[in-house]
Structure 1
Amino acid sequence: MDFQFKQTVPSEWVDYNGHMNDAEYNTAFSQATDAFIEGIGLNEEARARFHYTIFTLETHTCYLQEMKEGEAFTITAQVLDYDAKRIHLFLSMHHDDGDLAATLEEMLMGIDQNEGRGAPFPDPVAKNISELYQKQADQDQPKQAGRTIGIRRK
Structure 2
Amino acid sequence: MIIHETQVAPEWVDYNGHMNDAEYARVFSQACEALIDQIGLDEAGREHYGYTIYTLETHLCYRREAHQGQALNVNLTLLDSDTKRLHVFFAMFDDESNLLATSEQMLMGMEQASGRPAPFPEPIASRVAELPQDNKDVWPELAGRTIGIRR
Q: Any idea what SS the aligned residue of 1:19 has?
A: coil
Q: Deviations over 1:100-140 (max 9, x none)?
A: 000000000000001111000111110111122xx424484
8 Å CA contact 1:94–1:101 kept in 2: the answer is: yes
Q: How far apart are 1:3 and its partner, in Å? A: 4.1
Secondary structure class of the residue paired with 2:130: helix
Counterpart of 2:43 in structure 1: which amino acid? E
Give the root-mean-square deviation of aligned CA atoms: 1.2
Identity across matched positions, percent: 52
> What's the counterpart of residue 58 of structure 2?
59
Task: State how far apart, in whole Å, the 1-side matches of 2:141 and 2:39 are.
Answer: 25
Q: Which residue is equivalent to 1:22?
A: 21
8 Å Cα contact 2:2/2:73 also seen in 1: no
Q: How does 1:4-153 map to 2 (within 5 A)?
A: 4-132=3-131, 135-138=132-135, 140-153=138-151
SS of residue paired to 1:65: coil
Structure 2 alignment gaps of length 5 or more: none
Q: Output the amino acid matched with 1:104.
A: S
CA–CA distance in 2 between the matches of 1:16 and 1:137? 38
One-letter code aligned to 1:152: R
Deviations 1:53-99 (A, max 9, x none): 00000000000000000000100110000000000000000010001
- The TM-score with structure 2 as length reference comes to 0.96
* Runs of 4+ more than 6 Å apart: none
Code of the aligned partner of 2:119 = P
Matched residue type, 1:150: G
**Residues in 2 aligned to 1:137 and 1:152: alpha-carbon distance in whole angstroms:** 28
Distance 1:3 1:70, change over 3 A: closer
Cα offset for 1:4? 2.4
Q: Quick one: distance in 1 between partners of 2:99 and 2:2?
A: 16
Give the letter aligned to residue 124 of structure 2.
Answer: V
1:124 aligned counterpart, secondary structure: helix
| 5+ long unaligned stretches in structure 1 | none
